[in-house]
Amino acid sequence: MARQQDPFIGRDILNGQFQILQKIGSGGMGAVYKALQPAMNRMVAVKILHPKLAGRKDLVSRFRREARAMSHLTHPNTVKVYLYGELEDGSLYIVMEFLEGKNLNQTVRSEGAMPLERGLPILIQCCHALEEAHRAGIIHRDLKPENIFLSHQGGMKDFPKVLDFGLAKVSERELRPGSIILTQEGMVFGTPEFMSPEQAQGKTLTAGSDIYSLAVILYEVLTAKLPFDAKNPMEFIQLHVTAKPKPISERVPGKAFPPLLWTVLEKALAKKSEDRQASAAELAHALTAVLQGLPEVPPFHGGPGTPIQRLPSENVPTPAASPAQLVAPVVAQPAPAGGMGAPPPGYAPQAVPGPTIPSGPRSSPLPRRTPAAKPSAGLLVGVAVAFLLVGALLAALVLKVLM
């Protein structure tokens, strides 16, 4: 029996804007195609979701809302979304940049565990991409090595692109063997191997859920193993909720890791979201310290995850400062000596600010007026006598002139 031809291959969509050339991936809820955009003379990837999803208004609404938000993400390590919408048959689609390379799962499976100098910069860049998404209110929900694509851009190798931001609830799934789909309050997908404890329990997800998943991914990237030993997906879910992960130094016999690495990973793998790093930017900061070979993580005082603070100016009221604040210096963090590799792109040493010295307009103090000394009585009499003598002399001169 001949295999049925995919109806989209060879077809023009959106009034000829895109020509579907071949299928490059598929899942239970749709497929991804390589397509030509003649007007721009470029290749794109077109993700087309199954038409049966058009009947689920909740999914369609979520898809449109999150696709719109995703299209505004600009971080270079986030896959670019060019266009999204609905085809004539009701299928939802997303047009995004076409990437050439391999995903992180394929890379680790074919090449084995990565050394720190290679693995850490990849995950640090992913942290920065996630930070932008989190600030836009987008939680990925399905971070896994398959959704981190290693591309080649501008001569740069291992340039990661994070795929499927916030679309895990409606997009097709590229499940690894044994993965399952969980359903609660609609459709909630997740890959058990990389699922946070709160996601496994069907709780509301925050950015901390993505941080946990990133930590599991990094663990696997560096060891080619997961932090838990499980025989099936349900056991993975149970272990994420109840068990402590195996220390990374015990996972690969004969392979040593910096102690700080496990300190950072153990915090990111905490069961409670509030016990993890507060943001993806903070996790990137901590991993950078590991990459630089520092003995501990320097204090995190800012970054993309912190609110933008206004500098004092003439138009912004400045709170009064105590005498201690007026003399406190700003201490710059010293650059780490030595290290295990060059800092990743976008890394800048953090400054440890001391108490703020208020600037702004200063008013010049008015000069003090010294009270004048009162004249003595003798001085006053002398002045009066002098005026009388001068007056008498002038009167005599006038009379002489008239006579």
Catalytic position from the list 142, 164, 210, 229: 142
Question: Is CATH 3.30.200.20 correct for 12-97?
Answer: yes
What DSSP line would sit under 117-173, residue for residue?
Answer: HHHHHHHHHHHHHHHHHHHTT---S---GGGEEEEEETTEEEEEEE--TT-TTTS--
For 299-318, write each residue's pLDDT tens digit: 998 754 443 332 233 333 33
**Catalytic residue status for 142:** yes
Strand pairing of 81-86 and 92-97? antiparallel
Domain ranges of the chain: 12-97, 101-295
What homologous superfamily is domain 101-295 in, according to CATH? Transferase(Phosphotransferase) domain 1 (1.10.510.10)
What is d(CA 376, CA 180) in angstroms, rounded to the nearest whole number? 106
User: Is pLDDT of 395 > 60?
Assistant: yes
Greater pLDDT, 371 or 173: 371
Strand pairing of 12-13 and 18-27? antiparallel
In sequence order, what are the beta bridge partners of 18?
13
Q: Do domains 12-97 and 101-295 have the same CATH topology?
A: no
pLDDT confidence of 379, banded at 50, 70, 90?
low
What is d(CA 86, CA 81) in angstroms, rounded to the nearest whole number? 15
For 104-131, write each residue's pLDDT tens digit: 999 999 999 999 999 999 999 999 999 9
What is d(CA 211, CA 279) in angstroms, rounded to the nearest whole number? 8
User: Is pLDDT of 241 > 90?
Assistant: yes
Give the range among 74-88, 240-254, 282-296, 381-395 with minimum mean pLDDT.
381-395
What is d(CA 268, CA 253) in angstroms, rounded to the nearest whole number? 23
Per-residue DSSP letter, 43: E
Query: Is the pTM of the predicted complex or chain greater than 0.75?
Result: no
